Amino acid sequence: MKKILALVLAALMMLSATLVFASCDTPSTTDNKGAAPSASEESASDEADGTDGEKQVLKMATNAYFPPYEYYEGDKIVGIDAEIAAAIAEKLGMELVIEDMAFDSILTAVENGSVDFGMAGMTVNPDRLKSVNFTISYAKGVQVVIVKEDSPITTVDDLFADGATYKVGVQTGTTGDSYSSSDFGDARVSRYVSGNEAVAALLRGDVDCVIIDNQPAKSYVANNEGTKILATSYADEDYAICVSKTNEALLEKLDTAIYALIEDGTIAGIVAKYIKE
């Protein structure tokens, strides 16, 4: 009996050892079901979803003193550009972050890569194209002239009249700055950090007029009694987004998103929300 029991115990020990060694065997290379993803598969997943499954951040530079395109509502930047940028980011599956800065710092920020793109009621012109690329246009802009109600300047032509010496106020780095500097020379142009400061200079009598985009001009006139916009426009222009010349991939994505948002009426709806014709 003891001999039989010993044989049974020996058999059980051999079976146990066999199972242990079997469990340590390498899984068959012909069946990958349930296998962990390879490093390349993990990186592809991260690239699609962002690091650790989070959305990638899309950084936008703007100057938030250009209503109704961008302005502060409390501590939040809102407006036409802010909403269009948010719609673009949603199309791209990314998270939008807006950074407020001086207008003439936007191109530099885009060039050095501290932001992904610039969007601030910005017009395409030859000087800017030397340093950045631009998307297709997403909106139209008109440059106008703000004057005091009793101003001797009654039309834009008065600024170009022979012997005219009217001082012009502009926001630094804007197309109003570029156009007026070219048309009247630096001696007649005074530059300010924001449109607000330019209009304040007009009210003080430091300048005779302010050249700025039509939409913010309406806001400034509505909030500053004794001012008006001349009936004739100073210049017509197209607004677009600026992108680094080294980031062709982003430029293509933005163009595709803008085109889709124009086609489905999203951009027109956003503009209509802020601009009542």
Based on its alpha-carbon atoms, the radius of gyration of the chain, rounded to whole angstroms, reads 31
In a shared domain, residues 70 and 114: yes
What pLDDT is attached to residue 53?
60
Q: How many residues are present in the chain? A: 277
Question: Is 17 among the domain residues?
Answer: no
Edge-to-edge strand ranges of the sheet holding 70-73: 65-66, 70-73, 76-78
- What is the tens place of the pLDDT at every residue in 205-264? 999 999 999 989 999 999 999 999 999 999 998 999 999 999 999 999 999 999 999 999
CA distance 24 to 78: 61
pTM over 0.85: no
Q: Which residues contact 167 (CB under 8 A, 6 or more apart)?
A: 188, 189, 190, 206, 207, 208, 209
CB 83 within 8 A of CB 68: no
CA distance 249 to 247: 5
Question: Structure tokens of 186?
Answer: 């630096």
In a shared domain, residues 149 and 128: no
In a shared domain, residues 60 and 195: no
Q: Which residues contact 117 (CB under 8 A, 6 or more apart)?
A: 58, 59, 60, 61, 110, 241, 242, 243, 250, 254
Q: For the chain, give the percent of residues with pLDDT over 90.
A: 72
- What is the tens place of the pLDDT at every residue in 248-266? 999 999 999 999 999 999 9
What pLDDT is attached to residue 55?
78
Question: Is 36 among the domain residues?
Answer: no
In a shared domain, residues 230 and 262: no
Q: Tell me which DSSP letter residue 162 carries.
A: T
In a shared domain, residues 83 and 205: no
Question: Is 16 among the domain residues?
Answer: no
CATH, residue 161: 3.40.190.10
In a shared domain, residues 64 and 134: yes
Pairwise pLDDT comparison (7 vs 67), residue with the higher score: 67
Binned at pLDDT 50, 70 and 90, residue 277 comes out as low
Question: Is 90 among the domain residues?
Answer: yes
Distances (CA, A) of 219 to 47, 115, 142, 232: 43, 29, 14, 18
Binned at pLDDT 50, 70 and 90, residue 128 comes out as very high
What pLDDT is attached to residue 38?
36
Question: Is 218 among the domain residues?
Answer: yes
CB 172 within 8 A of CB 180: no
CB 58 within 8 A of CB 94: yes
- What is the tens place of the pLDDT at every residue in 14-66? 434 443 333 333 333 333 333 333 333 333 233 334 445 677 999 999 999 98
Domain with 167 in it? 142-237
- What is the tens place of the pLDDT at every residue in 130-184? 999 999 999 988 999 999 999 999 999 999 999 999 999 999 989 899 899 999 9
Count structural domains, the chain. Answer: 2
Binned at pLDDT 50, 70 and 90, residue 1 comes out as very low
In a shared domain, residues 170 and 207: yes
Give me the phi and psi of 86, to 5 degrees please: -65, -40
CA distance 227 to 220: 9
Q: Tell me which DSSP letter residue 270 carries.
A: H
Angle at 214 between CA 143 and CA 174, to 5 degrees: 50
Q: Tell me which DSSP letter residue 164 carries.
A: -
